[in-house]
Structure 1
Amino acid sequence: MDVFERVAQLIEEIDAVTASTPEQVEAFRIRYLGSKNILRPLMGEMRTIPNERKPDFGQLVNRAKQHAQDKFDGLQAALASQESATAGSELDLTAPAEPMPLGSRHPIALTMRRIVSIFERIGFAVAEGPEIEDDWHNFSAMNTPEDHPARDMQDTFYTGADMPAGPNNSAMLLRTHTSSVQARTMEAQQPPIRIIAPGRVYRNETISARSHAQFHQVEGLYIAERVSFADMKATLLHFAREMYGEKTKIRLRPSYFPFTEPSAEMDIWWGLETEHDHRITKGTGWLEILGCGMVDPAVLENCGIDPERYTGYAFGMGIERQAMLLYNITDIRLMFENDVRFLRQFASVV
């Protein structure tokens, strides 16, 4: 048998190989493709081949090598397919899936989103502002006089002297309400203005079950021509019924805020059906949920809006208070402690 016949026989041998296990495939690789494979010595036979046949022999040997490589690749692919099919057959597709732990939204975020959604549906846009604010936008622009109790160091967190001063060289502080966003909006644009300003605020208060040094507010502002107190009342009644149910009743009680005149506090009828109702409403059945009023002309003038032409109303509410009412939470501190046991209760709330 000459060398050409031997190579042809090896090609036929490679064709005939079958392998169904990883060990058999590896044995094929070692025999035909390894560092000491049986095809390697064939090139040494080149010296015995007549010169005119050497090109043919070289091509034949290279074809045998390529054939071995293709066969090996095919065996590997078949083995991988076989293993995949076997692995799939071991799965019980009727078995219950592994329980996927659900994340949960924070009750403050849930409540804020609900409030914002109600007002967005009636045309209010969301406005934002800085949490580190200057005295002008936080107090002066909102008609809060220098001797007002809200300016007292016991109520407000003032920043250090190294902070840059605000307009009119005013001090810097952590905003005590989101009314500062209203002031910035009125400075930046002319009426009509219809915004809500949700955000976090800070007051230097003793932390207890009903109060905290940081909390969240949503404040609203509507300024245009011929805006009336009746417009405000209709808007807030719509909000209360969207928030607490279609049969919700409200009442407005006279109050005082530096930036609105006249001012009012709005209550909703909570009822007196349970001991909890008596306690939370102090036996009256009515529960205060927000403050409101017509924007004081001095505020409009401070912010560059003509009070002779435009009127408006403003309102503000604490989000934590709304969340405590919606989800029957009795301690405001729970909302800031990040206790997973508390947060998991809201896993299914959207």
Structure 2
Amino acid sequence: MTDLDQLKTDALTRIENAPDAAALEALRIEFLGKQGSISGLMKTLGGMSPEERQVQGPLLNGLRTETADAIAARKEVLENTELEARLAGESIDLTLPAPEVPRGSVHPVSQVMDEIAEIFADLGFAVATGPEIEDDWHNFTALNMSETHPARAEMDTFYFPDRDAEDHRMLLRTHTSPVQIRTMKAASANGGEPVRIIAPGRVYRSDSDATHTPMFHQVEGLAIDRDIHLGHLKWTLETFFKALFERDDIVLRLRPSYFPFTEPSVEFDVGYSNEGGRRVVGGHGDAEGHDWMELGGSGMVNPRVLEFAGFDPNEWQGFAFGLGIDRLTMLKYGMNDLRAFFDGDGRWLSHYGFSPFDQPTLSGGVGARA
């Protein structure tokens, strides 16, 4: 038997009997590594004559190929044996909880919108919606806003170049008040009936800085009946804030103001204090360490608005109010920068977002405080 035959027999026998992956890797290095015996023989081909190389070359290449194939085959056998042993020894504990999987979160604004809807549902208000692309009649005229009102200016409102069939200018709604008009028109078309709705949603204004964004969120409320007065408005707002902020010491202050769609008009403030650099709603604004913070506008629905919507102002009256949902979210959950709401930063969302399967609920809170 030649030296190559002996080397081949020795290599294949030892590879076949390799007990584990570590031993097999050691054999691979011994035979095929840079300093391996077969690799050393391959290096001698360069010093041979063409005639010798023609004879020895195929033999050495064949030896190297057979050795490499044997190593690969033995490696597959060892891996399969190891896998079978592991499967035989392992068992699945079906009583263990499933592993946590990545999942999305509810944006804080969406969470607060749900909380607002829940609170007002307990107070007998339905949620009403309307188009975000509006006409200027529903957005301005029907709300008693004159043709020269500053809010109609191009610099404040996103207008479209086209008009509707009645020659009204089309725009992105600047508030959710058009939903109130559409709801009242539908109610008056049915012969007149009480209305109690809130209208949450996106609104748009041409304004952008550290505290304003071109798109933001509002919720407006409307109650129409035959015996509504400002006392009902104040009670409704106080009850709402107590439930939203989960505090019984909410103090509401009404200040005379002016809005074209309400008469009389009032702005409402709540008492708050600064605690650790955070504004905390609660307490009396005139008490030591407290102050007042304006949160929205409201008032009794202007008789002209009732007429535009088809209600007889001599028979019907009601109140309306408006709030910024983004600001309420910042106050309730301790956020300082409005722009982060719209950045889409996954880190911010994972910190402030809510689990879609474990959202906080306010059910029962309104009834307890009412």
- Normalised to the residue count of structure 2, the TM-score between the two structures is 0.66
Counterpart residue number, 2:91: 91
2:184 aligned partner, one-letter code: M
Q: CA deviation at 1:185?
A: 0.8
1:268 aligned partner, one-letter code: V
Matches within 5 A, 1:278-293: 285-293=291-299
Matches within 5 A, 1:54-133: 90-93=90-93, 97-133=98-134
Q: CA deviation at 1:260?
A: 0.4
Structure-1 separation of matches of 2:88 and 2:127: 52
Counterpart residue number, 1:174: 172
The answer as to whether partners of 1:157 and 1:174 remain within 8 angstroms in 2 is yes
Q: From the superposition, tell whether residues 96 and 140 of structure 1 become closer, same or farther in structure 2 (CA, over 3 Å).
A: closer
Between the two proteins, what is the percent identity of the paired residues?
A: 48
Q: CA deviation at 1:99?
A: 2.6
Counterpart residue number, 1:165: 164
Counterpart residue number, 1:39: none
1:258 aligned partner, one-letter code: P
Counterpart residue number, 1:68: none
Q: From the superposition, tell whether residues 229 and 125 of structure 1 become closer, same or farther in structure 2 (CA, over 3 Å).
A: same
Counterpart residue number, 2:327: 321
* CA RMSD between the two structures: 2.4
Q: 2:265 aligns with which of 247, 263, 266?
A: 263
The answer as to whether partners of 1:209 and 1:330 remain within 8 angstroms in 2 is no
Q: Deviations over 1:28-70 (max 9, x none)?
A: xxxxxxxxxxxxxxxxxxxxxxxxxxxxxxxxxxxxxxxxxxx
Counterpart residue number, 1:296: 302
Q: Deviations over 1:146-180 (max 9, x none)?
A: 1111001111000123xx4254x210000000000
Q: From the superposition, tell whether residues 89 and 143 of structure 1 become closer, same or farther in structure 2 (CA, over 3 Å).
A: farther
Q: From the superposition, tell whether residues 90 and 109 of structure 1 become closer, same or farther in structure 2 (CA, over 3 Å).
A: same
Q: From the superposition, tell whether residues 120 and 166 of structure 1 become closer, same or farther in structure 2 (CA, over 3 Å).
A: farther
1:296 aligned partner, one-letter code: N
Structure-1 separation of matches of 2:303 and 2:254: 21
Structure-2 separation of matches of 1:320 and 1:201: 11
Consecutive unaligned residues of structure 2, counting only runs of 5 or more, are 1-83, 360-370
Q: CA deviation at 1:250?
A: 1.1
Structure-2 separation of matches of 1:166 and 1:233: 41
Q: From the superposition, tell whether residues 256 and 187 of structure 1 become closer, same or farther in structure 2 (CA, over 3 Å).
A: same
Structure-2 separation of matches of 1:156 and 1:88: 71
Structure-1 separation of matches of 2:97 and 2:159: 57
User: SS where residue 341 of structure 1 aligns?
Assistant: helix
Counterpart residue number, 2:336: 330
Q: Deviations over 1:182-233 (max 9, x none)?
A: 011111112301111111100011x222110000111110000011111111
Structure-2 separation of matches of 1:187 and 1:256: 24
Q: 2:184 aligns with which of 178, 181, 186?
A: 186
User: SS where residue 160 of structure 1 aligns?
Assistant: strand
The answer as to whether partners of 1:264 and 1:293 remain within 8 angstroms in 2 is yes
Structure-2 separation of matches of 1:116 and 1:347: 17
Following superposition, which runs of at least 4 residues in structure 1 exceed 6 angstroms of deviation?
Answer: none
- Normalised to the residue count of structure 1, the TM-score between the two structures is 0.70
1:165 aligned partner, one-letter code: D
Structure-2 separation of matches of 1:198 and 1:321: 14
Structure-2 separation of matches of 1:312 and 1:226: 8
